[in-house]
Structure 1
Amino acid sequence: MQNNCARLVESLTAAPVAVVIALVCSFAHADEAPVPVTAVQTVALTRGPISRPVHAYGVVAASASNVTTIDLPYIARIVQMRVQAGQSVVRGAPLFVVQADPAAVVAAAQARSAAQLADDDLARTQSLFDKSLATQSQLAAARKAALDARQALAAQNQLGVGNGKTTVVAPHDGVVTQVSAGQGDQVQAGAAVLQLSAGTRAGDAQPNVTLGVEPSDIASIHRGDGVTVSGLSTALQSAHIAGRVVMVGAAVDSQTQLVSVGANVPTGQSAFIPGTRVKADIDTQSGVHWIVPRSAVLHDAQGDYVFQTSSDGMAHRENVKIVVENGGHYGVDGPLDAARKLVVVGNYELHDGAPVRVENAKQGPAQ
């Protein structure tokens, strides 16, 4: 068209007309200028679980459901203490040796002799009854006396007094969390001698990790939210154990100004023993969404949106809704296409239908 315009201008003798035609031709040529192409960078679109982590700090404690209090049903003196607080023990391991109070030993001996006497009397009465030398009521009384004596002996045997000296063993594997009596102490019946904590198991309903959470975050935390615990010490920083929130506090602690959250974390035989200081990430607002980098999401009067590229080399705007934020990513909902790439760099210069040239830093220009 430019050559045609030139020939037309040269053929005209009137200068003003030539100038006008030249201007018209220049404008027509300007309309044919190529549309600018925007260089962008893209990433693949993914969909999956995402949540907003709430950071907290706390301490490992013994779950109430897994703590066994070891006591004695009779008055006794601690002859020998075989364990100390913090020690791991296996089932059947000796915990301490006790000497029963003399009165308890006498009561146990009397129960044994009374049971033996009642059994002998019942056998004698039965023999007399068989010879018609004892009445039915006498036999019934002997039977009742023998039954009462055996029940009294069974009660004494349940106390475990025996001959007076007894070794108390661990009823299960665990850790001695507290020792309340020492060697030589006399303990009363029912008084705690020590506490034995078993390893917490997955699915337990009682908390064994207590965390402090900022009051502003507590509304987003619910029972059942996932928790990942790691240690504060250098040795435990790389150790991670997953658990669940089982208790959410409803009041602010007056000293810490934090709200307590209880988590159940199956520590088992790990290094996370009771008293270990820990940090934790609580997964809140968990759900399955499109996971996109923060740089991909733009905002205008119509709301949040992203750009996706298509096979025709164009950028297409898609409106989205931000549901959750996790570090450098958003979890969004919207009519996105997993087959199309997501624009993360250069999107500020785009509009719907704008031509683009993909120049990913690692891959070079897209083919």
Structure 2
Amino acid sequence: MGDVMKKVVIIALIILGLIIIGNFVYKYINKTAEQDPKMGNSEISDDLQPVWVEIAQAARGDIITYISETGMTLPVKSVVVAAETAGRIVQMDVKVGDFVQRGDTIAVVDDEIARLALDQAEAQLINAAAAYEKARKDLQRYQVLLKNEEVSESEFENVRVQHELARSAFLSAEASVKSAQRQVRNTRISAPISGQIAEKNVQTGNMIIMNQPVVKVVDIGEIKVIVRISESDISKIRKNIPVAVYADAYPGFEFMGTVFTLSPEANPESHTFPVEIIVPNNQQKTLKSGMVVRVNIQSDVLENVLLIPRDAVIERFGRNIVYIVDGQKAHERNVEIGQVKGEEIQVVSGIEPGETVVIVGQYNLEDGTPVRIK
């Protein structure tokens, strides 16, 4: 008797356990069906229970289309400042990143030799000027003597030749002084443009030679971006059209520029056309040279097109559909979609302006499902 009771209790417990598990599975499946819109809601459809939905109205608006490319920032103005004289650097106070104005002193080369050369040239000029003045007076005097037939033609010719030689010597000495003065000025290396020091190639105490690079100055008040546009898109771009520029270094920040130049010649290998974009920098000079940026070039404006929220469009069996609310029921419509504008999408055909589309709850609908609007 005891064994029989034990078996009955065990069987009862097993049955109770199966009931509990079955109930749990049933609730889980129902909950999953409610949370997963792709499973549909056949129970609602079969029982014709209203589905709570949110709606929006189809309306007309404009869409701006863009061509998106990636490029690299470059300074509009960039100058490598080279030495115009040889010697030892005796002063150089700038460092990379410093701002300089046009004409500011960047470095100073020892000018002792240059000044000695200038002193010598000036002394030679004084002597040449005195000799030239004497020769000029002699020529004037001999012109009078020749006219009075007091000197011969050959004597006058000798004086004239001496005058020409003295004049040439004076002009040469004058040019030597100007050259020596230039050499003295060249010992002071100055900024040819306003901007920032991007590279520094020498230090105080270094010996430099003629044409040796000293610093690189860049002006990033304006930045240029070179992008390469495909054959299919180049006809959509025009000079001066607006361009939005985005840098990964500044997420969420937008810089605005314009198309500056379009090359008439494609790269023979990539078959793309170089397009130069000019972007005014802000006061903080946020954009730097050498950054990788993304650009959106405005290519077209679609005016007065029909727009609905993107969430209203769902794909089923390879078709794009929306649900239109008519009265208290939702009706399925096939739609042809076009361009995207943020959270909106263009509808080319399938619905009319003013019709109401479901934007929340659409995954639980079928054609003819009763709805209630939240």
TM-based fold match above 0.5: yes
Smaller-chain TM-score range? 0.5 to 0.7
Residue of 344, 347, 359 corresponding to 1:329: 344
TM-score, normalised to structure 1's length? 0.57
Shift of 1:53: 7.0
1:74 maps onto 2:85 in alignment: yes
Alignment map for 1:278-317 (pairs within 5 Å): 280-283=293-296, 286-289=299-302, 290=305, 292-295=308-311
User: Which ranges of structure 2 fall in alignment gaps of 5 or more residues?
Assistant: 1-52, 144-155
1:184 maps onto 2:205 in alignment: yes
1:94 maps onto 2:118 in alignment: no
Shift of 1:74: 1.2
> Which whole-Å CA distance do the structure 2 matches of 1:192 and 1:91 have between them?
18
SS at match of 2:142: coil
User: Which ranges of structure 1 fall in alignment gaps of 5 or more residues?
Assistant: 1-38, 253-259, 362-367
> Which whole-Å CA distance do the structure 2 matches of 1:175 and 1:198 have between them?
6
Alignment map for 1:150-189 (pairs within 5 Å): 150-157=174-181, 159-162=182-185, 166-189=187-210
1:221·1:284 contact (CA, 8 Å) conserved in 2?
no
Shift of 1:119: 3.1
Shift of 1:83: 0.8
> Which whole-Å CA distance do the structure 1 matches of 2:118 and 2:194 have between them?
31
The 1:300–1:341 alpha-carbon spacing in structure 2 relative to 1, beyond 3 Å, is same
Alignment map for 1:217-296 (pairs within 5 Å): 226-230=243-247, 232=249, 236-237=250-251, 239-244=253-258, 264-267=278-281, 269-272=283-286, 274=288, 280-283=293-296, 286-289=299-302, 290=305, 292-295=308-311
> Which whole-Å CA distance do the structure 2 matches of 1:333 and 1:149 have between them?
84
Shift of 1:121: 2.8
SS at match of 2:220: coil
Shift of 1:123: 2.4
> Which whole-Å CA distance do the structure 1 matches of 2:166 and 2:211 have between them?
35
RMSD value, Cα: 5.2
The 1:47–1:277 alpha-carbon spacing in structure 2 relative to 1, beyond 3 Å, is same
TM-score, normalised to structure 2's length? 0.56
Aligned pair count? 293
CA deviation profile, 1:11-38 (whole Å, cap 9, x unmatched): xxxxxxxxxxxxxxxxxxxxxxxxxxxx
Identity %: 20
Q: Which amino acid aligns with 1:69?
A: V
Residue of 140, 146, 157 corresponding to 2:170: 146
CA deviation profile, 1:211-235 (whole Å, cap 9, x unmatched): 9x9xxx9788757772322452xxx
The 1:251–1:179 alpha-carbon spacing in structure 2 relative to 1, beyond 3 Å, is farther
Q: Hey, which of these two has a bigger chunk of helix by percent? A: 2
Shift of 1:305: 8.8
The 1:357–1:136 alpha-carbon spacing in structure 2 relative to 1, beyond 3 Å, is farther
> Which whole-Å CA distance do the structure 2 matches of 1:111 and 1:335 have between them?
92
Select the structure of larger CA radius of gyration.
2
Give the aligned partner of residue 33 of structure 1.
none
1:296·1:306 contact (CA, 8 Å) conserved in 2?
yes
Shift of 1:126: 2.0
